[in-house]
Structure 1
Amino acid sequence: MRAGTLPLRAAAIALAASLLAHVLLLGGGRAREEATRPAARAASISLLRPPVPPAATRPEPAAQPLPARPRAGRPADQPSPAAEIHVDVETSSAAPTAPPLRLAGPASWRYRLRQGGQDGEASLAWQPQPDGRYSLRLTRSIGERALPAWESLGHTGAAGLAPERFALQRGGQDRQAVNFDAEARRVSFSASPARLDLPEGTQDRLSWWLQLAALVEAAPAPGGRWRLWVAGLRGELREWVFEAADAAPEDAGMLHLRRQPLGEHDPGIELWLDPARGFWPVRLRQGDPETRGYEIRLADVNS
């Protein structure tokens, strides 16, 4: 190789390298320009368009308080005590409660007795106490023979008599009894395994005499009909309905009541109330006094 050709070749290689470098530089700049062109174009478009309002959003619901935890013994769907009081007030304003019943003061009533075709005597002792307790006792005798006594014990209130125990006594001892549990709303019997629901105002076979007198005095003529529940000694509990009946001429001034029959073999009850004595029973007849029934008539009054 000639010595003069080396410098020419080196110069050509250097020129080619320089041209390649310029090409690469030009290509990179064009690529950067192409990459930034869409962003610039988008920016220019956004400047020319009017601003678009943001889409309407639904307001978030307000936080609701957690439901109150129900108290023990009260279902969650029952009203609160405040609501119950409100209902009671509304009910009482629409339908006022009945006025308190009036009961007679302490007294001892003597009757003439006719039972099983025989004559005898009966005495009814009524002893209400200042503390609200009461005792009511009926004793009977035919000649020298004492018949079983009836005794009712309990308390009095605005609704009249609320018996707690009724007993049939022989020789001063309870032989049969009915127990009234006002708290448990149950009535039970010594002569029966029955335990029955206790309706409001239930009476025994003696206390109903005074209770009916108080009901009649409070409403002398509510359609000529009065109702009360009565429990017997053998496990029976029935609603008694009394209706006004015509009075005989000799019973003028008396209110004559008759109890509706309880069944085909019911002996029936009739009684005569004296308005001058607070509608106290002055005569009472159950069944036929000449056979298995009895009748009492007021003899005199000691009070």
Structure 2
Amino acid sequence: MRAALSFPTRPPRAALFALAASVLAHAALLGGGRARDAAARPARAVEVAWLAPPAVPVALPEPAPPALPMAQARSQRLNPRPPVPAVDAPAATPDAPLLRLAGPASWRYRLRQGGQDGEALLEWRPEADGRYSLRLTRRIGERALPAQESLGRTGNAGLAPERFALQRGGQDRQAINFDAEGRRISFSASPARLDLPEGAQDRLSWWLQLAAMVQAAPTPGGRWRVWVAGVRGELREWVFEAVDAEPAGGGTLHLRRQPLGPYDPGIELWLDPARGYWPVRLRQGDPETRGFEITLADVNS
């Protein structure tokens, strides 16, 4: 007869409590070890940091210069280089002849311009203080043409213009300014600023200047040079030559300007030695088209 199978009965409660206490004890031991490891890590990290090589010093940037005032900073941006001082034009040579100018006078001319007849008046007014005014007015019938006026100073070298104006209705419409101190010529109708040559003239003063130059050195067959500025910003050296070797029979000296280019209208003038080589006739271009010609009618001192 087989023996009957037997199953273990439920363990006593005391044994269960003992088993749970053992598990908790092991967990506490493991947790304590991890805590000790975590506490030890900062100490090892500090030790490694001290063993690392020292840091390389970094050069600090130099302190920035103090800020410039706004106007000065803007000037330096617009003009990064200092301006180059102007070079003075060569002075007149000591042995240059002194130029003698005529006394105050009003010169009346017959005018031929654009195929029409008219009249012109040239008024010359040198002052005792060394200043002068020179004015040319023209008229064809009842129509007044633009007037020309030259203002400046006189001296041993002749005329030194300071301002030339082309006038309409009594008002300056176009002008040239001669800055003797800064050695510059400026124009109202052009942005050009040109160096001022020694003895430079405007479109009216050259009449008298050339007369004084010829009177000072009336060399037969000679040449006379003068710089002349125009209202549109041009500055050219005009060279005049005597057409005749000398005045025939005590008459006028005929001069002609060398051509300035293929379309130059040309300038001719006749100087009278008996009147201090004053221009008694002047022609520019063709008086029947766009040019003009004036011929002395009488003189009032």
1:80-91 to 2 correspondences below 5 Å: none
> What's 1:134 paired with?
132
Paired letter, 1:299: A
> What's 2:77 paired with?
none
Structure 1, residues 75-132: CA drift from partner, whole Å, max 9, x if none? xxxxxxxxxxxxxxxxx9xx74223210000000000000000000000000000000
Mapped partners of 1:105, 1:246: distance in 2: 28
Mapped partners of 1:142, 1:131: distance in 2: 35
Mapped partners of 1:250, 1:287: distance in 2: 25
Q: Taking structure 1 as reference, are residues 117 and 250 closer, same or farther at Cα in structure 2, changes over 3 Å only?
A: farther
TM-score, with length taken from structure 2: 0.67
1:170-181 to 2 correspondences below 5 Å: 170-181=168-179
> What's 2:274 paired with?
276
Q: Does structure 1 residue 209 correspond to structure 2 residue 207?
A: yes
How high is the sequence identity, in percent, across the aligned residues? 85
Paired letter, 1:190: S
Aligned Cα RMSD in Å?
2.0
> What's 2:229 paired with?
231
Q: Which contiguous aligned blocks of 4+ residues in structure 1 show a shift greater than 2 angstroms?
A: 249-252
Q: Taking structure 1 as reference, are residues 145 and 251 closer, same or farther at Cα in structure 2, changes over 3 Å only?
A: farther
Structure 1, residues 25-71: CA drift from partner, whole Å, max 9, x if none? xxxxxxxxxxxxxxxxxxxxxxxxxxxxxxxxxxxxxxxxxxxxxxx
Paired letter, 1:233: V
Paired letter, 2:233: G
1:132-211 to 2 correspondences below 5 Å: 132-211=130-209
Which residue, 251, 263, 266 being the options, matches 2:264?
266
Paired letter, 1:263: G
> What's 1:220 paired with?
218
Cα displacement (A) at 1:246 = 3.2
Cα displacement (A) at 1:224 = 1.5
Which residue, 107, 114, 123 being the options, matches 1:125?
123
Paired letter, 1:269: I
Matched positions, count: 210
Q: Taking structure 1 as reference, are residues 267 and 148 closer, same or farther at Cα in structure 2, changes over 3 Å only?
A: same
> What's 1:11 paired with?
none
> What's 2:251 paired with?
253
Paired letter, 1:239: E
> What's 1:86 paired with?
none
Cα displacement (A) at 1:191 = 0.5
TM-score, with length taken from structure 1: 0.67
Please, which runs of 5 or more residues in structure 2 have no aligned partner? 1-91
Please, which runs of 5 or more residues in structure 1 have no aligned partner? 1-91
- Secondary structure of residue in 1 paired with 2:192: strand
